[in-house]
Structure 1
Amino acid sequence: MNIRIECTYRTAKGTEAFFRSEEMPAGKGMVIAEDLERTGRAKNLVFVDGYDSSWTMKEMKGYLKGVETEPHNVTVYFDGGYERETHRSGLGCAIYYEMNGKPYRLRQNATVAELLSNNEAEYAALYMAVQELEGLNVHHLPVRFIGDSKVVINQMGGEWPVIEKDLLRWADRIDEKLNSLGIQPEYELIPRKGNAEADRLATQAMNGTEISGTIELIPGN
């Protein structure tokens, strides 16, 4: 989670001024805030997250302690495939994260029959990935969402408007879920070959092979 520090600073002679820091990771913000408090001159110090919610020092310490035992440093790869002839879609996502000092990978795919286009399948894959994040209890964190769909990445990132009603429905569902989880999304477009794992999961779903599971990633393997 990224935060800003806000406080009132009072000099030895009693002159006061309000300060607001630049945005920074919560851990770095805690180090700076603790240093400010040691001066004895910082008053009413709070942390403000990306949703303009305020956190006290005690609340932020509790959050940072909890992060150690919850998924963090989360990166999501997603992809959707669509067969025009059968109207069958395959969805795939691979989620990389850290927890308790160890790296993990979750993989999930699914077959869907009622979608109408490849773009809709891409959106459905992203929504499936967000649902998996909810299952992992990922919340109040920045998360990187990586895909090869220019439409989804640019529309969800705010670069392009969402005009099609079918896609707007998916975009609204995704935004609503992300907001409820307090997730700060960062969207990144990559070439198709760079998204091979999620693409393979989507293809396997369309071929009838179900993949679902989480493993600890062992360095060197």
Structure 2
Amino acid sequence: MAPRKLIVEADGGSRGNPGPAGYGAVVRDGDTGLIVAEAAEFIGRATNNVAEYRGLIAGLRAARELDPDAEVDVRMDSKLVVEQMSGRWKIKHPDMQPLAAEARTVLPRSRVSYRWIPREQNKDADRLANEAMDAGQAGRAWEPRARPAAAQVTEVAAEPLAAPAAPKAGWAAPADLGTPTTFVLLRHGETPLTPEKRFSGSGGSDPALSEKGRWQAERAAEAFAARGTVEAVVSSPMRRTRETAGAVAARLGLEVRIEEGLRELDFGAWEGLSFAEVQQKYPQDLDAWLGSAKARPTGGSESFTNLTHRVGVARDKILARYPGRTVLVVSHVSPIKTLVRLALGAPPDSVYRMELSAASLCAVQYYRDGNASVRLLNDTSHLR
């Protein structure tokens, strides 16, 4: 059977260059021309070119979500991106190089072609980019517009980033896929809020490690020093993760690279409260949050859908930077559970069925064909 054909139209814009920026992308069925997926996002302050590359990456991911085996025809009105991704122009700007590398990891190069189109033929992607910028400058996240069922549109925003396709290799990956990239996922050590099981996200007090948390970080450092397998350390920007990552990196003689996308979910008004307290004060909001990945904590800026998007972007950036290497990724409960969920291809509510202890370890391996394999979950043996 011939592979499915999909068309990706992507665009990005910046109001100031650099300035407030956003991207938009649509995926069309190659036979009917109908839009079958949309994606858009406000990305903060950036240049036009950065926004255009981000739109390309989002469009490719949306196509992969629809059919990881499809042949994809990318159409953009950015001659720069088209020529660079086609290999005809060199990529000299340091901001463009990692984005181009990231785009190339989404789908095999042999299944993606690039074509320049006039701006008037890229109106849908341009519209979405402007919608995203309008929403971002108004302090809102972009939301897809309601469409009638007859439009046959699958809204990507409900699950903006797919996991790599479920492993097809069984117990082991084929030898010709080369060395996988391994993420060793380390949850930070305890803070004063951890044993009380209080919500502690990116919108709260940003607590430091407690005495026990520092002890846990040192035990993790000893374990990694004994194994000698970690080649790079990447951390969430929050204090508790930086302290945990710093303890390990110091023992290994490595630097800590900060990745903003690994920060914890913003829990808004729930920050510092226990689950029981949230249930008492905000019962309807809590029920909605537990029932839908699109729902946000009371006063919070993010849903699990939003978090999934940024964690997926962070994942792909790390994969592009450290191919075939073992990377220690120090993060929080929600991002780590999300990485595991995406690797398994599990539904969003599966994050509520995972236990992650303080300073616990998980491991995921990623292969060049896009498959992933979960190798470890909630291991605390190094703390005994």
Q: Same fold (TM over 0.5)?
A: yes
What's 1:40 paired with? none
What's 2:114 paired with? 187
Structure showing the higher strand proportion among its residues: 1
What's 2:162 paired with? none
1:211 partnered with 2:150:
no
SS of equivalent to 2:99: helix
What's 2:15 paired with? 83
Any conservation in 2 of the 1:78–1:198 contact (CA below 8 Å)? Answer: yes
Any conservation in 1 of the 2:12–2:51 contact (CA below 8 Å)? Answer: yes
Distance 1:90 1:149, change over 3 A: same
Distance 1:183 1:89, change over 3 A: farther
Render the CA deviation track for 1:103-124: whole Å, top value 9, x for unaligned: 5521221110143x11111001
Distance 1:104 1:191, change over 3 A: closer
Shift of 1:129: 1.0
Shift of 1:130: 1.6
Q: Quick one: distance in 2 between partners of 1:199 and 1:102?
A: 17
Q: Quick one: distance in 2 between partners of 1:140 and 1:162?
A: 27
Distance 1:131 1:104, change over 3 A: same
Any conservation in 1 of the 2:40–2:132 contact (CA below 8 Å)? Answer: yes
TM-score (norm 1): 0.58
Distance 1:85 1:184, change over 3 A: closer
Shift of 1:165: 1.2
SS of equivalent to 1:207: helix
SS of equivalent to 2:7: strand
Q: Quick one: distance in 2 between partners of 1:188 and 1:86?
A: 26
Any conservation in 2 of the 1:76–1:93 contact (CA below 8 Å)? Answer: yes
Q: Quick one: distance in 2 between partners of 1:73 and 1:177?
A: 16
Q: Quick one: distance in 2 between partners of 1:145 and 1:102?
A: 13
Q: Quick one: distance in 1 between partners of 2:119 and 2:35?
A: 23
SS of equivalent to 2:120: helix
SS of equivalent to 2:107: helix
Any conservation in 2 of the 1:141–1:183 contact (CA below 8 Å)? Answer: no
Any conservation in 2 of the 1:143–1:186 contact (CA below 8 Å)? Answer: yes
Distance 1:104 1:88, change over 3 A: closer
What's 2:220 paired with? none
Any conservation in 2 of the 1:107–1:212 contact (CA below 8 Å)? Answer: no
Shift of 1:102: 10
What's 2:41 paired with? 110
Distance 1:150 1:217, change over 3 A: same
Q: Quick one: distance in 1 between partners of 2:129 and 2:106?
A: 22
Q: Quick one: distance in 1 between partners of 2:68 and 2:49?
A: 27
Q: Quick one: distance in 1 between partners of 2:131 and 2:34?
A: 25
Distance 1:157 1:87, change over 3 A: same
Q: Quick one: distance in 2 between partners of 1:74 and 1:211?
A: 20
Q: Quick one: distance in 1 between partners of 2:150 and 2:11?
A: 22
Identity level (%)? 26
Amino acid at match of 1:176: T
Q: Quick one: distance in 2 between partners of 1:172 and 1:212?
A: 31
Q: Quick one: distance in 2 between partners of 1:139 and 1:200?
A: 26
Amino acid at match of 2:36: R
Any conservation in 2 of the 1:102–1:216 contact (CA below 8 Å)? Answer: no
TM-score (norm 2): 0.34
**Residue from 176, 192, 208 that aligns with 2:105:** 176
Structure with the larger RCO, 1 or 2 (CA within 8 Å, 6+ apart): 1
Distance 1:111 1:190, change over 3 A: same
What's 1:41 paired with? none
Distance 1:185 1:85, change over 3 A: closer
Distance 1:135 1:143, change over 3 A: same
1:1-221 alignment, distance < 5 Å: 27=2, 72-84=4-16, 87-97=19-29, 104-115=35-46, 117-136=47-66, 138-179=67-108, 184-208=111-135, 209-211=142-144, 217=151
SS of equivalent to 1:113: strand
Amino acid at match of 2:16: R
SS of equivalent to 2:95: helix
Render the CA deviation track for 1:109-152: whole Å, top value 9, x for unaligned: 1110143x11111001101112212322x223321000100110
Shift of 1:176: 1.4
